[in-house]
Structure 1
Amino acid sequence: MKPARLLAPRSVAVVGASTRPGSYGNQAVANLVSAGFPGPIFGVHPTADEVHGVPCVPRISDLPLAPDALVIATPAASVPALVAEAGAYGCGGAVVLAAGFAEIAEGRPLQDELARQARLHRLPICGPNGNGIVSVVNRAPLWGDAYTARRPGPVALISQSGNVAVNALLSTRALGLHTVVSCGNQAVLDAADYLTALARLDGVRSVALYLEDEGDGHRLATALADCADHDIRIAVLKAGASPLGASAAAAHTGSIAGDSRVLRALIEEAGGAWAHNPHELLELAKTLATPRRPHVSPTTPVDATTATNVGVLVVTCSGGDAATAADEAERLGVWLPQLGAATVEALGEVLPTTATAGNPLDYTAVIFGETERTADLITVGARDDAIGPVLVYYDRPARMSEDAAESWDGALDGVILAASRLDQPVIVASTLPELMPEETAERLAAHGIVAVAGLSEGILCAGALTVPPPDATRLRSIAAIMSGPKPSAESPSVVSGWVAEHEAKEMLVGRGLAVPRGRVVRDVDDALRVAGELGGPVALKASSPFIQHKSDISALVLGVEGDAVREAYTRVDGLGGVVLVEEMVAPGVEVLIAVRRDGVVPVLVVALGGVWVEIFDDVVLIPLPADADRVEQAVRRLRAAPLLVGGRGRPPGDIRALAETAATVGAMALDEGLDLVELNPVFVRPDGVTVVDAVIRRGT
């Protein structure tokens, strides 16, 4: 079901329109009238002739036309029948405001019946138990709470929290809202449905998503691809920790690649930004809605840490702000490139003698308020080949003298003048949120400048504009994995459950991956014989589908030879399964490679491995499918990447072999329908990689 008519209605009816002040039915009608909704408005009430001057009829079927949108403001028990009536009459969709559905145990059957009627009649439903939908651009508040009309703009909000939606509509941060959706219980429509529909609406340039659950990964990835097709950027705030799947709970992968991290990996594939609170969410969405995009010379080298050749220029008149901004940029992974020699020389002609050209660019308070000079130094710095977005710090006190206001106005005029000369994004951020008053923010917005409240938020938002545009084809390939066929009957993965280690390694060898030489042995004499053939110290392991973490039950003995093999065999034998004897391979940097398929989308996981995997929590997630080039780029973002690159007397590890191994494991998991693969540790050496331990779970 497509909610197109519901999101941009040309006619509205309020079912349960009421003359009682304070009721949803009364407020919904008042909102439409006060907002100046341009289309016909009707009320449905058994006896009233009008509410707030809006004509009423007794039943939906008595309406003179089938409206695009209904606001159903009646008690919960009446809703399923009204949904059926509305669907039969040809209405475009409905917002259900009532509570008393699946948010309480006894309301589940009622919500199921509501959903059944909606699907039977193909009627899109927003809610129940939500605040509704506000189409700001169409002056159409389908909203049960009080609503004050506001300036429309390019930012849409989809929220699984009613309060986040309410607060966005009440905000005074120059947030130009296009459409606001309070999802409620999502009995029929969910966030992916709204995202898909919003991607097709004129005027939407960014979408803020507040999510309390991840939803259907296939549909979400498809919706993100639709947004990418229309150059719509995404900001996401995910609240709450999702429970881990049963398969993930049995492995390290679950603790380092939980559902929220998988969702974040998908959002980042879509060029989206990740927020940690509602304030960041709205500031990011506002920033991403700018029509300006950074253009950087293709000859600019890529920064090794951020994997981008688009950097941010920070401009301030405060040394303290400059230092703090630099620290925040490092913490948030935002690149502040060094300015080129030509830029530094040109800045020397504009800056006061007390200032030094650099990035951050502290022009000092000596020239604060000089409009032309401020504009010149911003323009010169912004035209450096490595610079994309420009971030200027500016604080506006609420109260000041007339003379002080003249100086502050001059500084702001300089920023506005510079922005008029540039085609890249310009952000003005205050160091403290309260020092970005609404009047200043709106003035900046009128000149195409993004106003952001907060020093850290300024860095975060500027960094979000350095992310490369998303690849819709890539997103659709991720979505296709989620809807792909199950493994065929000939595939070994039709047998579900955990795989013994020796069988798991046979699967890896079949894919051309390196594992230690070894063999399953029948008895202690066989163990001694195999150990002798392998030469040198060996490892003995219990290999069983029921043992995933051998060290927990002493099912692993390392580095034994000679008679010690006999004792080791005695310790391991009897713990279940068979005994595997393997050579001790040359050590290297220990890495974890894993695949998780039971999350939002299937992901490949690479992390610093061994016993450190959960302690250091150094991990990258790559949605599948993923080739070796994509994996290698991700691996270089690990904090532990210097261990792999080498230096200080350490030889470099074979990062390419690691990337190829990981890509092969990802392909194997998809081909074989494996729910979980965890290879830990994988030794990365200068001459290649070896998978030392393997845990695999076949899919059902």
Structure 2
Amino acid sequence: MSVRNLGHLFAPGSVALVGASARPGSLGATLLHNLLAGGFKGEIWPVNPKYQELDGRHCYASVAELPRAPALAVICTPAATIPAIVRQLGERGTRAAVVLTSNLQGARDAKGRSLRQAMLDAAHPYLLRLLGPNSAGLLAPGLGLNASVAHSGALPGRIAFVSQSGALMAGVLDWARTRGIGFSHFIALGDAFDVDLGDVLDYLASDGSTSAILLYVQDLRYARKFMSAARAAARSKPVLVLKAGREDDSLPAAASESGALAHPDDVFDAAIRRAGMLRVYTTDQLFSAAETLAYARPLHGERLAIVSNGAGPGVLARDALAYGGGVEAQFSEASSARLDTLLAPGWRRGNVVNLQGGALPEVYREAMDILLQDPQVDAVLVIQSPTATVASRDVANAIAPLVRTASKTILSCWLGGASVLDARAIASSARLPAYRTPEDAVAGFMQLVHYRRNQNLLMEVPPSMAGTVAPDRAAARALVREAIGNGRYLLSDPETKAILRTYGMAVVETRAARDVEAAVHAAQNIGYPVAVKILTPDVMHKSDFGGVALDLDTEEAVRAAAARMRRRLGELFPEARFEGFAVQAMVRRSNAHELIAGAATDPVFGPVIVFGQGGVTVEVADDHSVGLPPLNLVLARDLVDRTRVARLLAGYRSRPAVNMDAVLAALVQVSRMVSDIPEIVELDLNPLLADAKGAVVLDARMRLALADRSGSTLDRLAIRPYPRELEETVDWNGGPLLLRPIRPEDGPAHLAFFDALTPDDVRYRMFVRIRELQPSQLARFTQIDYDREMAFIATRKNADGVPETLAVGRVVADPDNITAEFAVTVRSDLKGMGLGKMMMEKLIAYCRSRGTREIVGEALPQNSRITGMVKKLGFTVTSTGLEGMREMRLIL
């Protein structure tokens, strides 16, 4: 991921158009017209040897003849000329270009390289960034820059729109202009051979002119890069995604039920949710959500109060809320009593607040003021239908001041056409989201709700995993290597369960039997009753042809059932391979639920985790959710909560709730397994039987594949898991001390660590005085993206056996891995004992291993301890002149 030189691309001071033309309808003529008509304040230089002048401007014959290097070049010449032009621009000093030319992939140059590769090779020595090829261009309306083929410009605004479709550009620009929607940037990525979604997200995340980012996505090539950039961007501003191509008929058949359930669109949904972004499904929803998120206050709950001047619109909103899974606010007694004095006698308490048709503006204002003060209300929707006695604009003027003072979200709906245009304009100018129908308004509120839930997943600190068994990874890998060495890639139930046991998962006792008599012998050893299942890698649903027999309680019953299913396999599937039988202890749990937990491999996002209602009807029930590993307890709980069966698992009538800790632990262990063992491509635990006693795997199936050894085995994961290889045990103060990367579960220990710091130590670290860490700050410190930053902690168990954090060393590199900024904090009562030096050496070694070029940091002038320590480690320390701040730098 790289943002290097993207400033030249998105905020240039000068532009050269290579391929400018006077031929009507040509790319060169369209681009020149748009550049000149946009009002760009910088220099615009047409380049084409065929002309001496274009549109009254001198036209240069070549890049070499330009008066100086342009900050940005826009290229629309024939494909064969692109590599040479890019090289000339790089030599001249240009560091960014937009390539609108298409068909660079198939054509080849004189050396046999694709023109695509030749272009990239030409740009690489000069760090020249390329947008495209096959891009429709870009716009930066705040600069008056229209370097695109769009037939009209864009209004300035604070929304960035990034599209993988150039064809969408013109339509969206027209659509947005008619609604008064403006943009900070409008970017058509084209083929994205260099600058891609991840790069653009990184740039826009720190762009001060952008308050929200909208993405139109057709496909992704670099899931790890995209997820890393998306999670970082979503922490700083709303990111909304419109995804095309929800159906894909080209997918190969899956060898497992988990593989069949993990549809690519469900996986994409899971990725968007995990990144803290919001997915929408229409262009209208995209811009509506952008306005709502930009204007609305952050939600602290999901209870919506509805105020209307008529019963009908209010009931429509209430119905939409119920249908969408929203929560209607129930007013407090104090609020209801205050509303009694305002409303007509007999109004329905705890329902829609109906002000009646002739409600005056001050009545609207007073009713809303009451609800905004109610602790049982999290947001208020006000609906106004035009009447002959009260002007909508007067109502808007009355409630608009509340937006500035309210701590809660207010939404508005102005029913009607021309008569409410003024009211909508007043609302928008007050940053009050304005909708045309009650249903639209409720949909906007639910977008806020879903966005809040996704953001909470980013910020919530998970509880400790203390109850989860530590896996025996070496044993699991040995079993996998043995299976692959024997040419076995689809593992049977007994083979899979052997691997599950190494991860501490509860499995029903199961033995493999090669023939009927061996099955009888296995049943006698296990003890009756037993279940017998035929083993064949070629039939997924064994029960469909009688390949499963339950509750067998005699030798004769086992012998007869095994012989019968062996015969049926031969009759119905003569080509199927017979590998024997699995004999299991019969498990009887009358109140248990049949679930499925498993894993599959998505072609873009890599391993994914599947959970849902299991049993023989798993695919018909279609009740499942998908998540990306690695999972912790919070993410595993979210995976469960997104299924319908979750409500049954909570218990109902006389049926007790299941042991949810056991279910979540099973999901976390599945996540660990697929993260640890790259050869696992599909896994089914179906059924996973769960009740109040726990969760046990009855039937399991695993598919293996040779792992790609060309790079890190972790590269296949869309989100880098905890880097266990960086753990190190050292001797300190007469005992062992563990230095390791921080984990989300370290939240409580990190909070205790912060509380043990003196006020001065907090100020030395954060440059301001902070009494306590907010939940979002704690999540930010403990839930890190290991691809982008690293935080090491020094930890040991205290006298009570509870892990405690003694020191923290943190380093955050820029996206190009050139400069990394460090910070080291030692618990105040442990200073002077070598912990700071130990953490600093750990950070330096880590940065060297990643190829980082330099480490930098800042310190207050009073913090002589840190400056003295880093000098001994080779840092240079200089004064920046800003209140005596010290800058520390180590060249690696």
TM-score of the superposition, structure 2-length normalised? 0.69
Structure 2 match to 1:50: 53
Q: Distance in 2 between matches of 1:513 and 1:490?
A: 16
Check 1:228–1:241 CA distance in 2 against 1; reply closer, same or farther (3 A cut): closer
Query: Post-superposition shift, 1:28?
Result: 2.0
Query: Post-superposition shift, 1:223?
Result: 0.7
Matched, 1:341 2:347: no
Q: Distance in 1 between matches of 2:24 and 2:646?
A: 63
1:215-230 mapped onto 2 (5 Å cutoff) = 215-229=221-235
Q: Distance in 2 between matches of 1:630 and 1:553?
A: 38
Structure 2 match to 1:331: 323
Query: Post-superposition shift, 1:87?
Result: 2.6
Q: Distance in 2 between matches of 1:426 and 1:24?
A: 46
SS across alignment from 1:602? strand
Q: Distance in 2 between matches of 1:94 and 1:437?
A: 46
Higher mean Cα deviation, 190-199 or 544-553? 544-553
Higher mean Cα deviation, 113-122 or 630-639? 113-122
Amino acid in structure 2 at the alignment position of 1:695? R
Q: Distance in 1 between matches of 2:374 and 2:99?
A: 53
Amino acid in structure 2 at the alignment position of 1:42? W
SS across alignment from 1:137? helix
Q: Distance in 1 between matches of 2:143 and 2:420?
A: 27
1:122-271 mapped onto 2 (5 Å cutoff) = 122-150=127-155, 152-170=156-174, 171=176, 172-229=178-235, 231-241=236-246, 243=248, 249-271=254-276
Matched, 1:645 2:650: yes
Q: Distance in 1 between matches of 2:106 and 2:442?
A: 39
Matched, 1:95 2:98: yes
CA contact (8 A) 1:606 1:620 kept: yes
Check 1:490–1:271 CA distance in 2 against 1; reply closer, same or farther (3 A cut): closer
Amino acid in structure 2 at the alignment position of 1:649? S
1:105-124 mapped onto 2 (5 Å cutoff) = 109-119=114-124, 121-124=126-129
Matched, 1:419 2:403: yes
Q: Distance in 2 between matches of 1:678 and 1:570?
A: 26
Query: Post-superposition shift, 1:558?
Result: 2.9
* Larger gyration radius, structure 1 or structure 2: 2
Q: Distance in 2 between matches of 1:90 and 1:556?
A: 72
CA contact (8 A) 2:38 2:144 kept: yes
| Structure 2 residue corresponding to 1:377, chosen from 367, 377, 395 | 367
SS across alignment from 1:582? strand
SS across alignment from 1:387? coil
Q: Distance in 1 between matches of 2:152 and 2:163?
A: 17
Structure 2 match to 1:393: 383
Structure 2 match to 1:33: 36
Structure 2 match to 1:635: 640
| Structure 2 residue corresponding to 1:446, chosen from 415, 429, 442 | 429
Q: Distance in 2 between matches of 1:197 and 1:257?
A: 32
Higher mean Cα deviation, 313-322 or 618-627? 313-322
Structure 2 match to 1:322: 314
Q: Distance in 2 between matches of 1:238 and 1:166?
A: 18
Query: Post-superposition shift, 1:179?
Result: 1.0
1:77-88 mapped onto 2 (5 Å cutoff) = 77-88=80-91
Q: Distance in 2 between matches of 1:153 and 1:263?
A: 29
| Structure 1 residue corresponding to 2:695, chosen from 662, 680, 689 | 689
Amino acid in structure 2 at the alignment position of 1:345? A
- Consecutive unaligned residues of structure 1, counting only runs of 5 or more, are 297-308, 397-402, 476-485
CA contact (8 A) 2:164 2:189 kept: yes
| Structure 1 residue corresponding to 2:441, chosen from 454, 458, 461 | 458
SS across alignment from 2:186? strand
Check 1:148–1:247 CA distance in 2 against 1; reply closer, same or farther (3 A cut): closer
Higher RCO (C-alpha 8 Å, min separation 6): 1
Structure 1 match to 2:719: none
1:291-690 mapped onto 2 (5 Å cutoff) = 292-294=297-299, 296=300, 309-353=301-345, 355-358=347-350, 360-367=352-359, 370-394=360-384, 404=388, 407-429=391-413, 441-466=424-449, 467-468=452-453, 469=455, 492-493=479-480, 495=484, 497-551=489-543, 554-562=546-554, 563-573=556-566, 575-587=577-589, 588-598=592-602, 599-600=604-605, 602-673=607-678, 674-690=680-696
Amino acid in structure 1 at the alignment position of 2:368? I
Query: Post-superposition shift, 1:458?
Result: 2.4
Check 1:247–1:281 CA distance in 2 against 1; reply closer, same or farther (3 A cut): same
Query: Post-superposition shift, 1:355?
Result: 4.2
Check 1:245–1:131 CA distance in 2 against 1; reply closer, same or farther (3 A cut): closer
SS across alignment from 2:626? strand
Q: Distance in 2 between matches of 1:108 and 1:608?
A: 52
CA contact (8 A) 1:487 1:493 kept: no
Q: Distance in 2 between matches of 1:157 and 1:436?
A: 32
SS across alignment from 2:378? strand
SS across alignment from 2:534? strand
CA contact (8 A) 1:312 1:391 kept: yes
Query: Post-superposition shift, 1:610?
Result: 1.4
> How far does the alpha carbon of each residue in 1:650-700 deviate from its partner, in whole angstroms, 9 at most, with x for none?
222222211111111211221222222221111112211111111212352
SS across alignment from 1:465? helix
Q: Distance in 2 between matches of 1:121 and 1:156?
A: 28
Q: Distance in 2 between matches of 1:72 and 1:355?
A: 67
Q: Distance in 1 between matches of 2:656 and 2:491?
A: 35
Q: Distance in 2 between matches of 1:487 and 1:217?
A: 28
Q: Percent identity?
A: 28
Q: Distance in 1 between matches of 2:368 and 2:143?
A: 38
Query: Post-superposition shift, 1:155?
Result: 1.3
CA contact (8 A) 1:389 1:465 kept: no
CA contact (8 A) 1:313 1:382 kept: no
Amino acid in structure 2 at the alignment position of 1:178? S
Q: Distance in 2 between matches of 1:594 and 1:247?
A: 18
Structure 1 match to 2:815: none
State how many pairs are aligned: 666
Q: Distance in 1 between matches of 2:691 and 2:252?
A: 30
Query: Post-superposition shift, 1:288?
Result: 2.1
Higher mean Cα deviation, 493-502 or 272-281? 493-502
CA contact (8 A) 1:388 1:425 kept: yes
Query: Post-superposition shift, 1:584?
Result: 2.2
SS across alignment from 1:98? coil
> How far does the alpha carbon of each residue in 1:557-580 deviate from its partner, in whole angstroms, 9 at most, with x for none?
333332121122223447422321
> How far does the alpha carbon of each residue in 1:149-202 deviate from its partner, in whole angstroms, 9 at most, with x for none?
41x222111111224332332222342321111122222222222111111211
Q: Distance in 2 between matches of 1:121 and 1:473?
A: 40
Q: Distance in 1 between matches of 2:295 and 2:702?
A: 46
Q: Distance in 1 between matches of 2:650 and 2:460?
A: 28
Query: Post-superposition shift, 1:473?
Result: 8.2
